[in-house]
C-alpha cells in the first residue's frame, strides 16, 4: 500500500490540473498514490485526467461540491498519510518528504508548512507573491482557538496522518465556502498534535475573482457564522465555554455581525444575541455599522441603533 494518498477534487480544472499533477510527480518522496475526483466538470477536465493513465486513480460524478468530492477521495485512499490538494495549487518538490519526516519524528497528527501566494495579474498571469510563514502558536497557544479565529493554511500546505482523518470523519458538507478551514479546525477539535515544517512547501493560487469567497462574500460570512455556532455547541459539550473560548467566539461574532447587518436582518439579530451570550460585556465594533446605518436609516436612525447596541439584547 502507498505511504501517502493525495486527494484532488477537480471542477473545471483543465487550465491548471496538469501543472498540479506534475508538481506531485516531481516529489522527492515517490511512495504515493494520486486520486482525482471529478466533480461534474463541464470543460475538458475529464480528458486531462484520463491523459495521466495509470499514474492516477480517478472517479467521475455529478457536481456536488469540493467537500463531497474530498470525502469520496478519502474513501478510496489507502495511504498512512493523506495530502489534500486543490486542483490549481502546487507542491514544492520536497514537500511530502519533509512533512512525513516531521510527522514520524514528532509523532504528531498534522504537519503544516509555510506557503507562497501565486497572484493573478490583469493579464491572467500568476506571479510569485508573499510568503506566509507563521506557526499556529503565534496566533494562540490553544490550536482550537487559533484555527477558529486567525490562523489558516491551504490544503496544499497540510499533511494529515490517517488516524486523525478517521477521527474527524468527513469534510463538513454544510460549510461549502470555508470547508478547508473547518477541516483543519476539526483536527484540533479532535485533539490533534500539530508540527510546523519551516520553509515554503506549497504554492497557493489567488485568483482575481473566481474564488467562492470572492464570488459570494455574503455566503462566506454566513459560513463563518455557522461555523462559529457549530464550534460553540461542540465546546459546550466538550469542556465548556472557558473565558478564552468565549472571547474567541465573540471576536468571530463581532466580525460576522458587521456584514450580516447589511443583508440578513434575522441572522444579524441572532448573531448579536449569541455575541452577548458568550461575552455580556462585549462592545460591538460600530464604525462600519454606523456608516451603513446612516445611509439606510439617516443620522438619527443610526444614532438610535448604536444606542441600542450599547445594551445587551434579548433574542426573540
% of the chain at pLDDT higher than 70: 87
| Residues 229, 201: Cα–Cα separation, whole Å | 32
Q: Is the pLDDT of residue 308 over 80?
A: no
First to last CA, the chain: 56
Q: Is the pLDDT of residue 212 over 90?
A: no
Q: What angle, rounded to 10 degrees, do the helices at 217-237 and 243-263 form?
A: 150
Q: Is the pLDDT of residue 309 over 90?
A: no
Q: Cα angle vertex 57, ends 54, 58, to 5°?
A: 120
Under the banding of pLDDT at 50, 70 and 90, the label for residue 25 is very high
Kindly state which CATH superfamily the domain 4-209 is placed in: Spore Coat Polysaccharide Biosynthesis Protein SpsA; Chain A (3.90.550.10)
What pLDDT was estimated at residue 259?
86
For CATH 3.90.550.10, the residue range(s) in the chain are 4-209
What pLDDT was estimated at residue 208?
86
pTM: 0.89
- Placement of cell 520536497 in the chain: 94
DSSP state of 205: E
What pLDDT was estimated at residue 44?
97
What pLDDT was estimated at residue 263?
78
C-alpha cell of residue 304 = 438610535
What pLDDT was estimated at residue 249?
98
276 CB-side CA count, 13 A: 15
The answer to whether 171 and 179 are in contact (CB under 8 A) is yes
229 CB-side CA count, 13 A: 16
Digit-coded pLDDT (tens) for 163-184 = 999 999 999 999 999 999 999 9
What is the chain's Cα-based Rg?
21
Digit-coded pLDDT (tens) for 119-161 = 999 999 999 999 999 999 999 999 999 999 999 999 999 999 9
Amino acid at each position: 500500500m502507498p505511504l501517502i494518498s493525495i486527494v484532488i477534487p477537480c471542477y473545471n480544472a483543465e487550465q491548471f490540473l496538469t501543472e498540479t499533477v506534475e508538481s506531485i510527480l516531481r516529489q522527492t518522496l515517490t511512495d504515493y498514490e494520486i486520486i482525482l475526483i471529478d466533480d461534474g466538470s463541464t470543460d475538458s477536465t475529464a480528458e486531462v485526467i484520463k491523459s495521466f493513465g495509470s499514474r492516477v486513480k480517478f472517479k467521475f460524478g455529478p457536481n456536488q461540491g469540493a467537500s463531497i468530492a474530498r470525502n469520496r477521495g478519502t474513501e478510496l485512499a489507502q495511504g498512512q498519510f493523506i495530502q489534500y490538494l486543490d486542483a490549481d495549487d502546487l507542491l514544492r518538490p520536497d514537500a511530502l518528504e519533509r512533512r512525513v519526516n516531521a510527522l514520524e519524528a514528532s509523532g504528531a497528527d498534522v504537519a503544516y508548512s509555510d506557503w507562497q501566494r501565486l497572484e493573478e495579474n490583469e493579464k491572467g498571469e500568476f506571479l510569485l507573491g508573499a510568503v506566509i510563514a507563521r506557526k499556529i502558536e503565534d496566533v494562540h497557544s490553544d490550536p482550537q482557538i487559533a484555527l477558529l479565529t486567525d490562523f489558516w493554511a491551504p490544503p496544499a500546505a497540510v499533511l494529515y496522518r490517517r488516524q486523525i482523518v478517521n477521527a474527524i470523519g468527513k469534510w463538513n458538507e454544510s460549510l461549502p465556502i470555508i470547508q478547508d478551514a473547518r477541516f483543519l479546525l476539526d483536527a484540533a477539535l479532535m485533539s490533534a498534535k500539530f508540527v510546523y515544517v519551516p520553509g515554503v512547501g506549497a504554492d497557493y493560487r489567488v485568483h482575481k475573482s473566481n474564488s467562492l469567497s470572492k464570488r459570494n462574500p455574503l455566503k462566506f460570512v454566513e459560513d463563518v457564522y455557522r461555523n462559529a455556532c457549530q464550534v460553540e455547541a461542540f465546546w459546550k459539550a466538550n469542556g465548556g465555554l472557558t473565558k478564552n473560548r468565549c472571547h474567541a467566539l465573540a471576536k468571530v461574532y463581532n466580525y460576522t455581525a458587521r456584514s450580516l447587518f447589511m443583508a440578513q436582518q434575522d441572522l444579524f439579530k441572532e448573531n448579536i444575541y449569541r455575541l452577548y451570550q458568550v461575552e455580556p460585556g462585549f462592545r460591538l465594533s460600530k464604525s462600519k455599522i454606523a456608516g451603513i446605518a446612516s445611509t439606510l436609516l439617516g443620522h438619527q436612525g443610526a444614532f438610535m441603533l448604536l444606542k441600542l447596541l450599547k445594551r445587551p439584547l434579548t433574542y426573540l
